[in-house]
Chain A
Amino acid sequence: MPLFDAYRSEACACRTVNEFNRLHIDYEAWLSPSEFEELARGIHACAPTMPPASMIWARGLGELIARSGNPVRAWDRRPVYQDAVWYAPGDGAPPRRERTLVVCYTDFFGRLFMPIPAYLQHCPAPGHDYLVLRDRSRRYFVEGLADVAPTLTSALRAVLGAIDAHKFRRIQSVGASSGGFAALWSAVEFGFSSGVSLGGAAPSTLERSGLSADGFREALRAHPVPPLAYYYSADYPTDRANAAELAALMPVVTVPIAGASKHNLVFEIYQRGELVEFLAGVHAIPPRATRYAAPDAAT
């Protein structure tokens, strides 16, 4: 059980609650659901010798995953680069030419508003593969990926080439929070089947951080715009303003989630027990405006 052995070694070296949190935040950014299940099984089996923080973590994340109602999914996790991980469906999946590749741009914490194993457990399968990208520099992906290339376009081209992405039936991009802008941009730049931002940034967000969004504007001038969607919490002012800014810039369906007031709309929908249905709409092509939508104040 090498995964569990590695985890136990790291967990037993932690001395403070913050060291445990750091360890668990890292694991939550790359474990697949089945890998987490394997790890949790080991933690529970060795309960008397495991730190209490490990037990609490395994129980908490286990509950997040279990609530999907789906059997735990056995993705085949394939690291492409340090910050690009491909989760392919396991045995019995349709051939690649019939599957959709979802390019996922994570938030500042390496998540999709949820730990990666919890998100992967709730989203559509097995006709989908997920390519999860992480920008540790927290530059909204506009400066590419650290170990790949220095721009969004060059980094994505390299990653897609490394996995022969052209063999997929279609490609969709999805991004959460700080990853949302890159999802919209790359959908336009690469001509994906659709692009979705979940509470993501707008050009002015980047510009306030000293970054340029000119490449995105140039892509909008140079390419046809595929179906784009921006989902956001209806009662969260920052994202409502981002929705309005994006809608003024290009054709994008803005979907305000009624009754949601926090930036993390995915977790709010999870708490309502409706995440599986919500993500089925997000990952549809074109994305579906869900029944959670409030009258849109952004457009």
Chain B
Amino acid sequence: MDARKIRVAVVRGLKMGAVERMFSQEARDAIVEGRSNPTFAELGLDSLARMELCIAIELDTGVSIAPDSLDLYATVDDLVADLLRRATV
């Protein structure tokens, strides 16, 4: 699995979580293409959004992350890097 596929999964999860910033196609494209690296604080995920993000990641990449574990990542790129590492182990 390559980084782009993981980014697509993350963006899908953020959209499923109804994260307001992800309502913009431009914002979604920027993350998929690696031009934008928002912090999770900026994205403002509530508990349901965290669940939806982790569900999408697990369905799309096979990597299981618990919603509470998202606190370990400061930014989307941090999450993508860890998923890439774990998906290719």
Contacts and interface: CB of A to CB of B under 8 A. Distances in A.
B80 to A, nearest CB: 18
B18 A17 contact: no
Given A21-B67, A107-B18, A209 B23 contact: yes
Interface in A13-52: 16-19, 21-22, 25
A177 interface: yes
A263 B54 CA distance: 21
A262 interface: yes
Contacts, number: 39
A16 B64 contact: yes
Interface string B30-62: 000000000000000010100110110110000
Interface in A102-155: 107-109
Interface size on B, as a range, is 10 to 19
B61 to A, nearest CB: 11
Contacts of B88: none
B51 A21 contact: yes
B46 A18 contact: no
Nearest to B59: A18
A262 B65 CA distance: 26
- Size bin of chain A's contact surface: 10 to 19
A17 B23 contact: no
Contacts of B58: 16, 18-19
A20 to B, nearest CB: 10
A109 B48 contact: yes
A290 interface: no
A212 interface: no
Interface string A206-234: 00110000000000000000000000000
A18 B18 contact: no
B18 A109 contact: yes
A178 interface: yes
Nearest to B66: A17
B64 A25 contact: no
Contacts of B82: none
B46 A264 contact: yes
B24 to A, nearest CB: 7
A209 B66 CA distance: 30
B54 A208 contact: no
B43 to A, nearest CB: 13
A232 B46 CA distance: 17
B20 A238 contact: yes
Given A107-B18, A177-B18, A262-B46, A18 B23 contact: no
Interface of B: 16, 18, 20, 23-24, 46, 48, 51-52, 54-55, 57-58, 64-67
Closest 9 CB pairs of A and B: A21-B51, A18-B58, A16-B64, A108-B18, A18-B55, A17-B66, A18-B54, A22-B55, A109-B48
